[in-house]
Structure 1
């Protein structure tokens, strides 16, 4: 079952709000409104999404709080799918907002105003950046304590240089909070049937976390004809090769709703998660801290050189249920040399053991390549045209076992000294 009948009915109130899918010539809203969400095949498909019900102590506690009318905070962090890409309107039709509405309809009394929604999806970014953003974008610098945290990076983490260490660190950062939130791992999928579930799901098994897999729900039936048991086609599910349509986001929300219902019907587990065990991949970035222009003077010694300006042309995202966008990493340093001015480098002096640089990728020809020296040795080259659109790029600069003093110098490549380059911030582990 997908949960109480009321939550399905609540979804049906909002049908038909999506815009046409121009490249195909078929309205995405038609897919959504004419779909049979009550068929045995659909219910079976949603059931396959439940990869692991996991230890239920924390999720049942959150459900009980909701049923008693107490405040419950549901937080979501991930990539563009969590941002809501492909959903129209993005702030109300994303899987995140719809699963939040589903949770309210299933468990909250009255108007559900006691359930609060925090969404922090950023397109094109892996958990390597997510773990740096978590304190600011999910916990809002300590002002929010989520009861439920849903983590979705299965189609973004090919760019995670730590190959799962940052992902497990993010999971541990969330689950180790003093208020003991329920952490749910969500695995979305690309149109070519690919995701990184094989790398990331073992982290969930290791800590016995609830896990929901769109790959498990969808891929096998994608390959079948209607007569053989196909329920939803790729054309219906995908808005483009990466992101779901409104129908796809609805299916993701139904899958999370199925988990909520399954946990609600289960007997309470006797013990909470065992967090004493050694990490499966690594926990080296659990205590990462964001360093930017806002707090830099308190944490490090910096000579900005020609990186004196602040870039305002930034990647934007609709956070929470906002229909407006918020600029990401506004407290940055941008290189822009004045006429006849020497091209001075940016120098960061910091005691740390690990350091991640966050810089701006751009499609503008005004931006150029920077060279990065660590302790006087050229170690990396940061190309802002690697993906060639305005987004946030994470790059691992230092990864050592012990804390020591480091000097990081960022200077423009010789042929690019008249270009621009933006340091959005750093994530460091002291």
Structure 2
């Protein structure tokens, strides 16, 4: 399948663009747009995905080591770690990183101001520094050695040196190189002096015209073979500028940016930033609101079901509340009358006898030598009923005589007398008030 992709490369104060078609690792239909504005480059690249390769001096690279591994854990502390290394507050920087080995990460940062000058384009899938884009392109083209090697990228006066060990960056230097300074030779010497690092060769990529002289100097001073890979020979087309490895890498990364250091990824999904925290908080609030709504709806449904039942079974409900009432037709009106009657009813019997006084009288006048237990006491309009147990039938007769002598009590009748299993006498006494 043919894929269309492209890239915008920052060259000093201007930008150039490149687009091409990719099919089975073959590049075709190459278009180069030089000295164009960003808006014109956007139109020239069309609607396909593309990447942006920033000048090395526009950002910062770091090789950091942490006592733990895992992107989630590292993302929680990397901003505070880089706070001391960056010249600007981390709030003003866009950052991303990838873990190269257990606890070791390759991190990059660029000022938000630099990215704001580029603007937000819909189809941008990758934004990174040119050194990393060029390294990716060299790897894709098969121009990197299998053993350890030294990678040097000149971007004007800005230099990035990466010591690659076991396929991953292990040593890093980034600086501005002036002709009268010996910082370049010192940086190479420091990396080559590492006791456990023995690169087989050096890969040099430069957009300057003095790449050949740089190669001779490195080979002479540091005694290491230097290779300047040709873009024409590597990809089989002469339409691309020979030094435009970074443009090729950014275009390829736009097709598959996952797992690479990518500033565009943070623009879409910040690393545990405020936006993610706010999003999680809003999600929690939405969940709580949904739960509260569900509980309110359940409460309403249960009440509605109870109301429907009460509305459909008026006769049974009336009989359960007033079992001694006669059969009636207008149940709502009967309920209203009963309720009014209950509201008017005093806590005293019809003859002015207090139910509480009746119980007090009964408990005080029963002989203390009689063993009796009252289980329940019920008052229904003009009648009262209570039941209990005692030790003998003689004691039961004395209890009945005591009840008959109570003030305001008449027609005392002994009912439901039987002998319990423990030889206790169960009884029920009914009377009128």
Shorter-normalised TM-score: what interval? under 0.3
Structure showing the higher helix proportion among its residues: 2
Q: Which has the higher contact order (CA 8 A, sep 6+)?
A: 1
Provide TM-score, normalisation by structure 2.
0.25
Provide TM-score, normalisation by structure 1.
0.25
Structure showing the higher strand proportion among its residues: 2
